[in-house]
Structure formats: structure tokens, C-alpha cells
Amino acid sequence: MQRNKISFKGQKIFVGIDVHAKNWEVAIAPEVGIAKRHSQKPSAKELFDFLKKNYPDGEYLAVYESGFSGFSTYYALKEVGIDCMVIHAADVPTTQYEEVMKTDRVDAVKLARSLKAGLLKGNYVPEKQYIDDRSVVRIRKTIQKQLSGYKSRVKHLLHCHGVEFPERFSKKQTHWSRAFITWLMKDVRLMSDTRASLDLLIRQVEVLRDTLLEATREIRKMSQTERYKHRHDLLRTIPGIGIIVTMCILTEVCDIKRFHNENEFAAYLGLIPTSHSSGEKTVHGEKTFRGNKQRPHDYRGCMDHHRQRCRTWNSVFPVQTENGTTGGDSEDSA
């Protein structure tokens, strides 16, 4: 007797993936039927082959929590034909049992169940080129923090050894000039006979300064590329916004059209208060802890000050208002 070939044509197959470096815990929930789980290597091709074998002709929809793998898993799944969503872990509906009995299998089933129920709203996934551009801006910020830290270590070492600054370096503005570094390298004497610790710190400061300069040059070159130049030139006309803040805005926001209104954009920036209201009682707290953590603190004030009255900002980022109209001119009309 010939058996009918099983087919899931017209059905959606929901896949929850708990992503780890060495393995994926996978839960698969078809539209009709029970969820099944399995563990596999971290391979999009292997998952696709499993789905084609066990759920042929289905429409595959996957979800995983954002984490160490970034968007590489997203693009790997998309390339093999699996539609994918990246979700913030805190936005996944969780029962008390799942909180106290957390395992990889429980997390995978939770993701598949929530995806099937339509309870998830995926994170914005930037284009591949934007990912590298954004990383360059973020790395520069990290290098700048490390440089500040090593400069502080040098001064701390000088204080520990009782070294006083000459009169010509009494003002902080003169610190870390070429003359200041020359003084550190040639004239400073520590309490001990050697000064290896100071030399190591100075060398690290110089390496980080060179790397910071290289990163800044790369950002300047990036700002003149076709995908940024028009919006970069417009944003630079706003007082208080320089090239670093401009490129941070452009690489972090990427596509402003992903925000449906100004409230969503404000929430992304972390410029909305928390709320704990019930009945007739309304309580608002400090600014929410949610939001893009990479945003520079100095441009929040710039945008808050210029957003309502600056035609240039509206030309670069025409955010839709509550009634669906565009708040500003388009780039073509700017």
C-alpha cells in the first residue's frame, strides 16, 4: 500500500531557538499539533534540513533572543530560507514556573509558543553594512574610555610617587600635549630607581591615542560615503552636533521610518518616564532604563532642544506624528 506523503503546505511552522555558542536548543510548534524539541549544532543549514525533512512544504518562522551572536544568526537563517525575528529577552511573556525552572528547553518552548500566539514584536535588524559602520563608532567610544582610564592611571601613579607638575602644566588644558608627554618621558623621576611602571602606562596612552586617531579618520571617511553624506551634512548644520555625534545618530538609528511616531522615537532614546499608575492614581518616575545604551548623552539634549523647531532635523529624520502625517520635510525637499 502506498502511503500518502506528509505535507505542511499552507501551514506556518513556528521555531523557537535558544542560541548558544556550542549548541542550539530548538522547539518547533506547527499550527496544528504539539511542540517538539531537539538539540543541535549551531547551524542554520542543519535546522533547515531538519525542518524540510519533518515539516516539508511549511512556512518556517523562527525567533531567538538577542545576545552574544548579534544578528549573524538572523542572517544565516534568512539565507537558507527561514524567516526570522530577533527579540529582547525581557519582552518574552514568561510564567512564574518558567522563571523559577529556567532551562534551555523551557526557553525554547516559551519562544515558540509566544511566536505562535503572535505576542512578540521583533527588534529592528539593520542592514549588514550598517552593522560594521555602527561597530566602528562604538569601538571608537570604547577606545576613548580606555584612553581616559590610562591617563588617570598615569596621574595616580605620579601622585603616589609625590611628583608635582611644573608651573607650565598647572592648567589641565596643557595636560597630554606633546610637551607634557615629553616631560613625562624624560624628566619625571619616581621614588624607586626604575620607572618601568610609568613607561608602560605612557606607552599604552600613546598606542590608544594613535588608535583613536585612526578610528576618527575612519569615521570621517565613512561620513562622506553616499549612504551618509546628505544626512551628515544636514545634521552638522545644527549647533552642538559634531561629526562623532552625527555618525553615532546615523549608525544607531539607521532607518527612521521604523518608528511610527515621535513617542516611539523618544522611547528608543530613553527620553520617556517610567509609570506606575492604577485607578485614579497616576505616578511617573525617572526616565526609563530601556532605550539604546549606546546613545551619547550629549546629543539627547541637542535633539530635545532642536526637535520641535529645527527644520534641518525634520529634513533628516521625518518622523510620523500621531495622526500619521510626517513631521517635517522630506530629504528631497530639504
DSSP state of 21: S
In the predicted model, is pLDDT for residue 285 greater than 80? no
Per CATH, which fold does 12-116 belong to? Nucleotidyltransferase; domain 5 (3.30.420)
CA–CA dist 114, 241 (Å, integer): 42
CA–CA dist 136, 32 (Å, integer): 46
Q: Which of 12-16, 148-152, 262-266 has the lowest mean pLDDT?
A: 262-266
Encoded amino acid at 240, one letter: G
Q: What local confidence, expressed as pLDDT, does residue 240 receive? A: 85
Closest C-alpha among 210, 239, 44 to residue 140? 210
Domain ranges for the chain = 12-116, 128-223, 252-333
CA–CA dist 177, 28 (Å, integer): 61
pLDDT digits (tens, 9 = 90+) for 82-110: 999 999 998 999 999 999 999 999 999 99
pLDDT digits (tens, 9 = 90+) for 188-247: 999 988 999 999 999 999 999 999 999 999 999 999 999 999 999 999 998 888 999 999
Q: Cell numbers of 121, please?
A: 514584536
Average pLDDT across the chain, whole number: 86
